[in-house]
């Protein structure tokens, strides 16, 4: 049976992922197919794609802050550090090809976490639940106004945000944790305009086992 989790615990876990310091080397940079034929592209500073994909950020040989995005990633902080030491690729960006492949496009030779993986860790779930599955663990909220810290804003088979609080007294924006391509391929905290959430169809949900 899944254990309950407190709202303050949820936010503390997310913040730990956002502020985690780690050091990698050139061996953790990867821009090639892995042994299973899956393309891996780490979001290192040298990653400068020709298309509209955002460039990378982490620097080999220096301390970096924030766990990098990895498609299908579900690492704990300890697991991530261990994998980096074992020469795993530090992150693996999202692409339309990976979206089409879903779990089959997850590289077992990369380390990091993705958007739904972060929510699953924050809620202390036993495995990573996708954006298609997370709503099954939740009660849907009737409006954005019901959101409380630790709840989520989810789009089916696309993206999920962890609600922290309102961005301003007028409630025209929200503060969230997320893992994605904005502003970089890593765990971050930012403000999002309500009109953007409405436009993209984000739905509010509350995990059934979250506690105050």
Q: What is the pLDDT of residues 141-162, one digit of tens each?
A: 999 999 999 999 999 999 999 9
Burial class (CB within 10 angstroms; exposed 0-12, middle 13-18, buried 19+) of 173: middle
On average, the pLDDT of the chain sits at 96
Strands 159-166 and 152-155: antiparallel
Residue 121: is its pLDDT beyond 70?
Answer: yes
Could you state, in order of their start, the residue ranges of all structural domains in the chain? 5-119, 130-211
| Distance (Å, whole) CA 97 – CA 87 | 25
pLDDT for 19-28, tens place per residue?
999 999 999 9
Q: What is the pTM of this model?
A: 0.96
In the predicted structure, residue 183 carries a pLDDT above the cut 70: yes
* Contact present, 193 and 172 (Cβ < 8 Å): yes
CA dihedral of residues 129, 29, 180, 126 (deg, nearest 10): 20
Distances (CA, A) of 163 to 83, 89, 119, 177: 29, 29, 10, 7
């Amino acid at each position: 049976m899944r254990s309950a989790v407190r709202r303050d615990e949820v936010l503390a876990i997310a913040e730990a992922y956002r502020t985690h310091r780690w050091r990698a080397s050139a061996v953790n940079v990867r821009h090639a197919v892995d042994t299973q034929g899956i393309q891996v592209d780490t979001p290192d500073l040298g990653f400068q794609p020709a298309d509209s994909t955002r460039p990378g950020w982490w620097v080999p040989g220096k301390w970096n802050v924030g766990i990098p995005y990895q498609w299908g990633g579900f690492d704990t902080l300890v697991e991530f550090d261990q994998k980096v030491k074992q020469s795993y690729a530090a992150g693996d960006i999202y692409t339309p090809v990976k979206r089409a492949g879903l779990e089959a496009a997850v590289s077992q030779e990369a380390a990091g976490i993705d958007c739904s993986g972060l929510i699953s860790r924050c809620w202390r779930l036993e495995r990573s639940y996708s954006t298609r599955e997370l709503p099954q663990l939740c009660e849907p909220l009737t409006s954005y106004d019901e959101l409380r810290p630790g709840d989520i804003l989810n789009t089916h088979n696309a993206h999920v945000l962890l609600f922290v609080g309102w961005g301003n007294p007028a409630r025209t924006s929200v503060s969230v944790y997320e893992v994605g391509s904005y502003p970089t391929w890593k765990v971050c905290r930012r403000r999002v305009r309500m009109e953007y959430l409405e436009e993209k169809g984000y739905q509010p949900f509350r995990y059934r086992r979250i506690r105050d």
